[in-house]
Structure 1
């Protein structure tokens, strides 16, 4: 059995942020949280808070999971040759998502299907 870390520098909020924008500035986590707060208010969702019970639904329905995966892969590719700690911001949470998407209900999988009917982009 092989294990892989689903890391996100500097925090999980960076992964969430990629659902709304391509972002490459290595800021402190408070900046990512502030960005999410602004975006959530803009979308009429109120204030972003850690441990939100409905974060998955928000990211699926108000964000763009396909773009988040594409953006995360681009950032990792641009950081090729560097260690995970040197890739900041960066995230490999998309690898976990790609693995788990096959277990989602069909209605939810639509968020991960490209225009050719393939599950996920850049596979």
Structure 2
């Protein structure tokens, strides 16, 4: 029988201290992303799915937190800055990237445009959609450039997924499964390409409320995917 080698307690304790310090150093060096969403479930659920799909090494190097607030436009931006300040004060760590995600919905053109312009005048990332976040879902299947209302999105999402999931499929706005369904039956590459194509139609025009359909969600998704490089 092989003789067991006994490691002195002092050495074990030192190893434990060094390992704890190493893990603490890794955590302290992690770059922090904070994504603040208008919706309390739809957008956070999608980005949680994307986050979990990132390689483990990315989540070791980056901390990505997603908050659903129920706020909108200007109040959402205010809340994003408040959350950033609270985090940095409590942890003494910097938030490297702060993003807001919101829709045009029924908000006034003036309020919608002013919010986007406010983001442009700061370092705040702005993943807005006109009219709704679900446009991003649709672009996984097809390019659309005709103006449409948010009421139409549900039917169109169902029309794309029913052929594979069955006639009984119903789109649920706060579903936790949409990221997985889009990954399985749609194409993220097509969504990126289609969204960029839509954005190019409006070029440098600042009347964002009239950019329908259009979504800048691709910018946030692209930035997160680049963390893998």
TM-score of the pair, normalised by structure 1: 0.78
Residues 37 and 47, structure 1, Cα contact 8 Å, conserved in 2:
yes
**Number of residue pairs aligned between Structure 1 and Structure 2:** 105
**Shift in Å, 1:103:** 4.8
Where 2:193 maps in the other structure, the secondary structure is helix
**Shift in Å, 1:5:** 0.9
Residues 161 and 185, structure 2, Cα contact 8 Å, conserved in 1:
no
Determine whether 1:96 maps to 2:217. Answer: no
Considering Cα pairs closer than 8 Å and 6+ residues apart, tell me whether 1 or 2 has the greater RCO.
1
- Which of 69, 74, 82 aligns to 2:205? It is 82
Residues 20 and 63, structure 1, Cα contact 8 Å, conserved in 2:
yes
- Which of 154, 176, 181 aligns to 1:58? It is 181
Q: Which moved more, 1:94-103 or 1:71-80?
A: 94-103
Q: Which residue of structure 2 aligns with residue 69 of structure 1?
A: 192
Partner Cα separation in structure 1 for residue 175 and residue 126 of structure 2: 23
* Structure showing greater Rg: 2
Q: Which residue of structure 1 aligns with residue 132 of structure 2?
A: 11
**Shift in Å, 1:102:** 3.7
Where 1:57 maps in the other structure, the secondary structure is helix
Partner Cα separation in structure 2 for residue 18 and residue 91 of structure 1: 10
Partner Cα separation in structure 1 for residue 148 and residue 210 of structure 2: 13
Where 1:24 maps in the other structure, the secondary structure is coil
Give 5+ residue unaligned stretches, structure 2: 1-95, 97-122
Q: Against the structure 1 CA distance between its residues 81 and 102, is the aligned structure 2 distance closer, same or farther, given a 3 Å change threshold?
A: closer
Write 1 or 2 for the structure with the bigger share of helix: 2
Q: Which moved more, 1:94-103 or 1:14-23?
A: 94-103
Structure 1 runs (4+) greater than 6 angstroms displaced: none
Q: Which residue of structure 1 aligns with residue 39 of structure 2?
A: none
1:100-119 correspondence runs (5 A):
100-103=224-227
Write 1 or 2 for the structure with the bigger share of strand: 2
